Copies of this chain bind each other. A is one copy, B any other.
Amino acid sequence: MQKVTRKSPNEKIIYFGDTARLPYGGKSAETILRYSIENTLLLLEKDIKMLVIACNTAASYSAERLKGYFNIPIVDVVEAGVAQVVATSTTKRIGILGTKGTIGSGIYQSKIAEELPGALITAIACPLFTPLVEEGFIHHEIAKHVVCEYLAPLKKENIDTVLLGCTHYPLLSHLIAAELGPNVYIIDSATACAEKVNSLLIEKKLDAKESQNPSHKFYVSDDPERFGKLACTFLGTSVSSVEKLTWHL
């Protein structure tokens, strides 16, 4: 979200965080797809002009279906991340870090392999990264230890590019960079996504032409107060009002 508002500062963001059912990382394909459809319907009621699937796990399992079902331009963070990896890697030796769901879906692996035939892809599920970030252990010795543990198989592969395939992981990028060394490009799928949003808005002539000093709107399915407090860390912005929004299904 921070990346999108920086790249497209005139646009008003309607944000929905499914805090009542998170995390998605360990849930089944079927359930993630159902949740993603329900969340899309909530946002459509808010009259959005474009949908951004900013959660890698949700994008992994639902992007293709949502693009088929709904009559609205959809940008998904996985597609954007893949494009960036393909543009960056020269040795075709690539690492992908994500939740169990994202890695298990195989979506990054198959999409990169499609665009970069012969690529050697090492994909690692890092289920402790998200709770570490949520616990605020970003600079803690324990986080270093966990990063070292998960990245050990990656260090043997002589990669030139690693993709951080989860919204929380960029908060650990200092540790990941220290572990992998200066010769590995770190790609944050959120940055790639923000660029894709901007170019698609222009292509579809949907971009807000003049600065409207947009006031963003935040919805969550549980505990708006807690979300307001965490927003600074996760969204890089302070949040004046957060409302609770739930499904009528």
Which of A7-15, A49-57, A142-150, A186-194 interfaces with chain B?
A142-150
A87 CB within 8 Å of chain B: no
B135 close to A27 (CB less than 8 A): no
B20 close to A27 (CB less than 8 A): yes
Q: Name the one of B28, B128, B131, B149 contacting A222, with C-beta atoms under 8 angstroms.
A: B28
A28 close to B146 (CB less than 8 A): no
Could you mark each residue 116-158 of chain A with 1 if its beta carbon is under 8 Å from any beta carbon of chain B, else 0?
A: 0000000000011001101101001110011001000000000
Main secondary structure of the interface of A (DSSP, over half): loop
**CA–CA, A226 and B26, complex, Å:** 10
Residue count of chain A within 8 Å CB distance of chain B: 24
A19 CB within 8 Å of chain B: yes
A31 close to B20 (CB less than 8 A): yes
Distance between A245 CB and nearest chain B CB, rounded to angstroms: 13
Copies in the complex: 2
Q: Which residue of B lies closest to A129 (CB)?
A: B131
B142 close to A132 (CB less than 8 A): no
**CA–CA, A137 and B145, complex, Å:** 13
A223 close to B31 (CB less than 8 A): yes
A28 close to B128 (CB less than 8 A): no
Q: Which residue of B lies closest to A130 (CB)?
A: B131
Interface of A with B (CB < 8 Å)?
19-21, 26-28, 30-31, 127-128, 131-132, 134-135, 137, 140-142, 145-146, 149, 222-223, 226
List 14 extra interface pairs beyond A28-B226, A128-B137, CB under 8 A: A20-B21, A21-B21, A27-B223, A28-B222, A30-B222, A31-B222, A127-B135, A128-B131, A128-B135, A128-B142, A131-B131, A142-B142, A142-B145, A142-B146
